[in-house]
A and B are shown apart, each in its own frame.
Chain A
Amino acid sequence: MASSDMSSEPLLRATNVHKRFDSVEVLKGIDLDVAQGEVVAIIGSSGSGKTTMLRCINLLEEYDDGEIHIDGETIGYRIVGGVRKRLRESAIADQRARIGMVFQGFNLFPHMTAEQNVMLGLTKVQKMPKAEARDRAVHWLDRVGLAERREHYPYQLSGGQQQRVAIARAVAMDPRLVLFDEVTSALDPELVAEVLSVMKSLAESGMTMLVVSHEMLFVRDVATRVVFMDGGRIAAEGPPAEVMGNPSSERLRSFLGRFHGLFG
């Protein structure tokens, strides 16, 4: 996977990523490194491009300029005669399989049980034998506290439980990096904690995570680094205590001010 001469590169390296929707430039040159084992939180107001950035990394969105590397390998595109070319669907699928993603709206498969949701990628994408895939699914459902619910369909689960199944589905694939896009935003307040505690335990187990979140206490406690996005750019970056405790700009100060009382 990683070419040896790139071994100094971090797990994820995005350089100068630009993304336009029609004429509107949504990402205006993002540079972002995430090293193995890091938990990087992306904060920023609505519309600043956080979701778009995650979707570009997982190749759900095509980007217009710049490069994204995973383990030193350019993903999504190759250069042919000086021209960027989108890779074939199958190559893109292989690259996506190395990156997990958890969505705001869970997106569980409604016609499958919790266990089948987790097993699908293992059996179909990784071609793992059924029995082994089931063991793996049971293991991860247990990790997220849902061993008892593995026969349940999504509609029989609460939002928090559904989101934990979605996390199990993503991490069971053994991805290099897991992307979380406001995964607690669609949840009732009393269900947020159970999802955050699962994420915290994943972070502690050394999983590399890129987390878009408005849960500032979680960000402060769990993130190794915080990235503040503003208008399609990274406007501030650093350890949580520094970025959040000592905001470098008025924009960041006013953004954090909305979560007032959290940072004394």
Chain B
Amino acid sequence: MGDKGTFLYEIWVARGSLLSGAALTMQLSLAVIAIGSFIGCFGGLGLVYGPAPLRLAIRSVVEVLRGVPVLVLILFCYYGLALFSIDVTAPAAGVIALSGFCAAHMSETFRGAVASIPVGQTEAAKAIGMRFWQRLTYVILPQAARRMLPPWVNTGVEIVKGTTLLSIIGVVELLLSTQQAIARNYLIIQFYLAAALIYIIINFSVSQLGAWLERRFAYFRY
């Protein structure tokens, strides 16, 4: 594996912590995307079909979450919640903050996708006697899902990148584990490049998954 101080040697030494950092990055991203998308679906439903007060409430929350820098959200969840005697660990604070960010974007994505389905689709479904949830399940959502896919993948990629911000509150995800390795071996450029490569691999996988899903949904056209 070469001599101490060479890149190959040092990365072999650091492999365990880098891999666990990468694993944590992926776990956090998955958790955030799952939670954020789930909440975002309801936020989006509320934005499209909810009564005016509910729409206004959701709209306000979405605007705040989208308007505030993600780092501020993270710091707020980590330090701010403690002020209200809510005890959260750093990873939990990070997941809450990023999920909020993700949910806000997904609400908007969902709303846009559902609103873009022509009103004639709803009317045709009504005309055969379908009820609200039936129309949603069988007519609107299958079509909206396809339109939601590209922005959803984008959001996923943003989330993966956004997890790097959690290094600031001490979550040892990929970036912080890289920085800790650099602190021992001073191979700054090489290790940041290695980390960048891993991020690219993760995000490339995400977008490939998205492309695969899009192909699966490509069986119909307009």
Contacts and interface: CB of A to CB of B under 8 A. Distances in A.
Interface of A: 58-60, 89-90, 93-94, 96-101, 103, 105, 107-112, 120-121, 124-125, 153-155, 166, 169-170, 173
Given A94-B129, A124-B134, A110 B124 contact: no
Contacts of A89: 131-132
B150 to A, nearest CB: 17
A58 B126 CA distance: 9
Interface string B138-160: 11001100100000000000000
B121 interface: yes
16 contacts: A93-B129, A93-B130, A96-B127, A97-B128, A98-B129, A103-B124, A107-B124, A109-B121, A109-B139, A110-B222, A124-B134, A153-B219, A153-B221, A155-B221, A155-B222, A166-B124
- B interface bracket (residues with beta carbon within 8 Å of A): 20 to 34
A103 B123 contact: yes
A170 B221 CA distance: 22
B2 interface: no
Interface of B: 118, 120-121, 123-132, 134, 138-139, 142-143, 146, 219-222
Contacts of B222: 110, 155
B123 A60 contact: yes
Contacts of B146: 111
Contact of B220 (A94, A111, A169): A111
A42 B124 CA distance: 21
A109 B120 CA distance: 10
B123 A125 contact: no
Nearest to A154: B220
A124 B130 contact: yes
A112 B220 CA distance: 8
A124 B120 contact: no
Contacts of B118: 107
A98 to B, nearest CB: 8
A3 B130 CA distance: 25
B220 A108 contact: no
Nearest to A94: B129
Nearest to A60: B123
B221 A110 contact: yes
A99 B222 CA distance: 27
Given A107-B124, A120-B139, A125-B128, 18 more contacts: A59-B126, A60-B126, A89-B131, A94-B129, A96-B129, A97-B129, A99-B127, A103-B123, A107-B118, A107-B121, A110-B143, A111-B142, A111-B143, A120-B138, A121-B128, A121-B130, A125-B130, A153-B219
Nearest to A59: B126
